[in-house]
């Protein structure tokens, strides 16, 4: 089964203070996860400047991502044509503003035939989920 993941799970796996840390580590330890390549920038952002304290330096964040995330995931990009297809689908899905970032993760997962999508933000993802999309799962 192909499973995809978003940055909320990756950040929680790296932060022992996160309430979903243990569950997120369990998901990550399974390995073979798929992630839209932008997940790397989102994880970096959360570690270096997000709401979670203590923040880490840019070099520490890069090291955490390289050693604590990359061995467990493969990344999938989207072409410009696929980005535009997602944007054209956004209105029908009720996606507006910053919601496009989450939707692109789900869109990439669906394009790569993932059956399950792990996130801590299930409410956000359920709001634009449709039949045929990967199942939205909280770790």
Taking only the tens place, the pLDDT of each residue in 27-52 is 999 889 999 999 999 999 999 986 76
pLDDT for the residue numbered 16? 87
110: three-class secondary structure by DSSP? helix
Q: Cα separations (Å) of 43 from 60, 85, 96, 108, 133?
A: 12, 25, 22, 17, 23
Nearest to 129 by CA among 11, 84, 119: 119
User: How many other CB atoms sit within 10 Å of the CB of residue 101?
Assistant: 17
pLDDT for the residue numbered 93? 94
pLDDT digits (tens, 9 = 90+) for 110-122: 999 999 999 999 9
pLDDT for the residue numbered 100? 94
Domain spans of the chain, in order of start: 3-127
pLDDT for the residue numbered 99? 92
Mean pLDDT to the nearest integer, 50-72: 89
pTM summary value: 0.93
User: Which has more confidence, 103 or 17?
Assistant: 103
CATH of domain 3-127: 3.40.50.1010
CA distance linking residue 36 with residue 42, whole number of Å: 10
* Residue 87 binned pLDDT confidence (cut-offs 50, 70, 90): very high
Mean per-residue pLDDT of the chain: 94
pLDDT for the residue numbered 34? 96
pLDDT for the residue numbered 55? 86
CA distance linking residue 139 with residue 137, whole number of Å: 6
């Amino acid at each position: 089964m192909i499973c995809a993941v978003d940055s909320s799970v990756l950040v929680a796996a790296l932060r022992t203070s996160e309430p979903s840390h243990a569950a997120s580590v369990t998901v990550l330890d399974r390995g073979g996860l798929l992630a839209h390549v932008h997940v790397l920038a989102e994880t970096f952002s959360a570690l270096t400047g997000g709401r979670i304290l203590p923040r880490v330096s840019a070099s520490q964040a890069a090291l955490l991502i390289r050693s604590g995330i990359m061995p467990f995931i493969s990344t999938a990009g989207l072409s410009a044509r696929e980005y535009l297809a997602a944007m054209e689908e956004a209105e029908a899905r009720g996606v507006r503003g910053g919601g496009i970032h989450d939707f692109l993760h789900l869109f990439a997962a669906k394009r790569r035939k993932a059956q399950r999508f792990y996130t801590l933000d299930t409410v956000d993802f359920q709001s634009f989920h449709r039949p045929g999309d990967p199942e939205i799962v909280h770790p």
